[in-house]
Structure 1
Amino acid sequence: MLFKLKSNNAKIDELEPVAYKDFASFGQREKELEELIAASLFGVLFEDARLMPVFQERQYQAEADIYALNECGDLTIFELKRGSAGNDAVHQALRYVQDAAGWSFADLRRKYQQYKGSGADLQAAHKEAFDLEHVLEPKEFNRKQRVSIIGSAADERLISAVDYWKRQGIAIDFLPYRIYEIANERYFEFFAPPYDVHKNPHDLKGVLFDTNRSYDEDAIWDMLEMNRVAAYGDAKRFVHYLNPGDIVFLSHKWTGVVAAGKVRNTSVKLLDDKDGLYRDVEFLTPVPQRSGSPRGMPFRKVSEYTGKSFYWARTIKVPYLSRSEADALVSALNDFLVPPTHASLAAPV
């Protein structure tokens, strides 16, 4: 709940609740809420989530809105409600879970290929996303299911229905949202379990950022030689997640983290020759040369050093690092990338 702080004689002594609305209040369709959540769920709304989206609802099909796998291959099913829904919404979601519980690995793979393309390899993509040593065996996928219903915080009937089934031992969660209108601007409030943990956007942070190798082998050299961090196409929005002073680590597929730089105090800029955006950076580690393959700190070593498990199959590899964690990783990266006899040539942190 959002409260306005009110004060008398310069002392804050009163909380005034701010009225809120739901998605239906603005005439928006449920599909529009689904697209908004699907684009933001893993990394923005769930900053520390380790979930791999594998399927999304198709029009006129009896399917849940979003299906995702965790590291163990268990399935999380998201059902979204833009306004008041009640008991029927929960019953519908439970039917989706019951159907999904019967999916074989072949069924799940077929769903993933419908979502990503006919040549998509579910096992390989899952291994890469979670940086596993081995692919999961088909029998290890979809052994457990969980349902999360995202709905208006004002929908008491829906909340009551979810609570009832949770008491019966069903793996179900209610994730509330609210929309506020303040000074002619709209704000979306979302509550991610268990503690709704997010880095403060104003705090300086460390971000592992993909070099786009899957689509363009030269993209990394554009970044390294032009002192920038860039993203392209549908992923270009992620550049806006970076703030001046953040430390960005360039994550090069199949190689590891190849360089780190501090985001400069300049605006987000438009790429001239590609559909993309970029920010200027000042590199804090040696910059690889185009004449050879860049050397990188392996992803598994990055995870071991930071003590964090990252979701690698994204442009931004959540979770974020605190500034102290980022500084420590820069130091470790310099030690790793620079031979001991040339350590004095490392860029200053």
Structure 2
Amino acid sequence: MLYKLEQKNHTLERLPGKHLKSINWKEEDLQILIYKNLEKLLQDEDLLLIAQSRNWQEEPDIMALDQNGDLYIFELKAWESKDHNLLQVLRYGQIFGQYNYQALNQLYLKHFPGNKSLVEVINNKYDVNLEEDQINQKQHFVIITNGLDLKTREAVLYWRTQGLDTQSWIYRIYEVKGDILLEFDTFEINENPYSDIEEGYYILNTNYNNNPSTHKDMIQKKKAAAYFDPWKRNITKLKKGNYVFLYQSGKGIVAFGISNGKLEKNTYENEPDEEYNVGLNSFKELSSPLSAKEIKSITGINYRFMSTMFGIDIESAKKVIEHIKENNL
């Protein structure tokens, strides 16, 4: 994530990410960029490139080998919200995972004519002594996707829980004073794969299970609040104009409003400054809660509602707001 530093008041403002199409790039441009700069982008991953996809061929975007002879199959996703494309990389695994050394070496020499044989190049590069039958005994699947793409994160998390070595490497694009900046990083699989989403739309748990009075206080005073460290610091993320959906555990979204951006600190349970809150303008209480099941159905994303607060993407937020206005007000 990239932040703008406000030096005078010591605050940070996260810069919004952009989609690939916003800079007039196609998926093949991203493929060429990564292929030419893989060592720069992935300094922690020492891989030997062996092939990139060719027109009209059923091939992965990029294939590479590591020092153990394991095959890495890359699939680039320039366009978001097409999680079914993840199945394509698994199909490539089925095809190329069955390649013996001779077939893989032949493919390598098509892309790098004039080079030594694949096993010689690997052994020289990594200073190892692999035999031909040790190459391509294991496959790793790498999905390269925009940091805004939540549905692919869901799919990667699912396949990981099923024991498949599927990784997600995330790129984010920013534009600063006409310059295009690229951030490239791995996506850590954890219990909440949406924790780093900051597009101005948030779901906040009202703390009902721990203290029902906090839920009532947020509704009555039209505010978003959290309590004690580290949970209260979630509120500092809320900028003026951000949407906040108040979520009651076991019920669903019960209200929403727009942050005024004014952070306040109150005493909570006789402890000073243990409540952080911001006021919510244009506050609306729902006539009936929008359940977790309905939220997942509307957005197509299997959100986990265990966190105090997490961000959702703009596309999903608009769907939720539209549904609420049509059915829950």
CA distance in structure 2 between the aligned counterparts of 1:90 and 1:20, rounded to whole angstroms = 22
Runs of 4+ residues deviating >4 angstroms? none
CA distance in structure 1 between the aligned counterparts of 2:54 and 2:33, rounded to whole angstroms = 15
TM-score normalized by the length of structure 2: 0.55
1:37 aligns with 2:30: no
| Structure with bigger RCO (C-alpha 8 Å, 6+ apart) | 1
1:5 aligns with 2:5: yes
CA distance in structure 2 between the aligned counterparts of 1:130 and 1:85, rounded to whole angstroms = 38
Which residue pairs with 2:85 in the alignment? 89
- Please tell me whether the aligned partners of residues 69 and 76 of structure 1 are also in contact (alpha carbons under 8 angstroms): yes
Which residue pairs with 2:138 in the alignment? 144
- Please tell me whether the aligned partners of residues 46 and 192 of structure 1 are also in contact (alpha carbons under 8 angstroms): no
Per-residue CA deviations over 1:185-230 (Å, capped at 9, x if unaligned) read 1101100477xxxxxxxxxxxxxxxxxxxxxxxxxxxxxxxxxxxx
Using the aligned pairs only, state the percent identity. 33
Give 1:88 shift. 1.9
Greater share of strand residues, 1 or 2? 2
CA distance in structure 1 between the aligned counterparts of 2:116 and 2:49, rounded to whole angstroms = 13
- Please tell me whether the aligned partners of residues 168 and 186 of structure 2 are also in contact (alpha carbons under 8 angstroms): no
Per-residue CA deviations over 1:3-48 (Å, capped at 9, x if unaligned) read 21225xx340x22121111222222121111000011112x11113
Give 1:183 shift. 0.7
- Please tell me whether the aligned partners of residues 166 and 172 of structure 1 are also in contact (alpha carbons under 8 angstroms): yes
Residues matched between the structures, number: 189
Which residue pairs with 1:46 in the alignment? 42
TM-score normalized by the length of structure 1: 0.52
- Please tell me whether the aligned partners of residues 81 and 149 of structure 2 are also in contact (alpha carbons under 8 angstroms): yes
Secondary structure of the 2:140 match is strand
Structure 2 gap ranges (5+): 189-329
Give 1:130 shift. 0.7
Which residue pairs with 2:185 in the alignment? 191
Which residue pairs with 1:338 in the alignment? none
CA distance in structure 1 between the aligned counterparts of 2:171 and 2:115, rounded to whole angstroms = 36
- Please tell me whether the aligned partners of residues 4 and 18 of structure 1 are also in contact (alpha carbons under 8 angstroms): yes
Which residue pairs with 1:241 in the alignment? none
CA distance in structure 1 between the aligned counterparts of 2:31 and 2:141, rounded to whole angstroms = 15
- Please tell me whether the aligned partners of residues 81 and 150 of structure 2 are also in contact (alpha carbons under 8 angstroms): no
Give 1:75 shift. 0.5
Secondary structure of the 1:102 match is coil
Matches within 5 A, 1:220-259: none
Per-residue CA deviations over 1:283-323 (Å, capped at 9, x if unaligned) read xxxxxxxxxxxxxxxxxxxxxxxxxxxxxxxxxxxxxxxxx
Structure 1 gap ranges (5+): 195-349
Which residue pairs with 1:176 in the alignment? 170
Give 1:85 shift. 4.5
- Please tell me whether the aligned partners of residues 2 and 14 of structure 2 are also in contact (alpha carbons under 8 angstroms): yes
Per-residue CA deviations over 1:99-148 (Å, capped at 9, x if unaligned) read 1111111111111111111663111111111122x3x2121000000011
What is the alpha-carbon root mean square deviation over aligned residues?
1.8
1:64 aligns with 2:53: no
Secondary structure of the 1:117 match is coil
17, 20, 24: which one aligns with 2:17: 20
CA distance in structure 2 between the aligned counterparts of 1:20 and 1:121, rounded to whole angstroms = 42
- The structure number with the bigger radius of gyration is 2
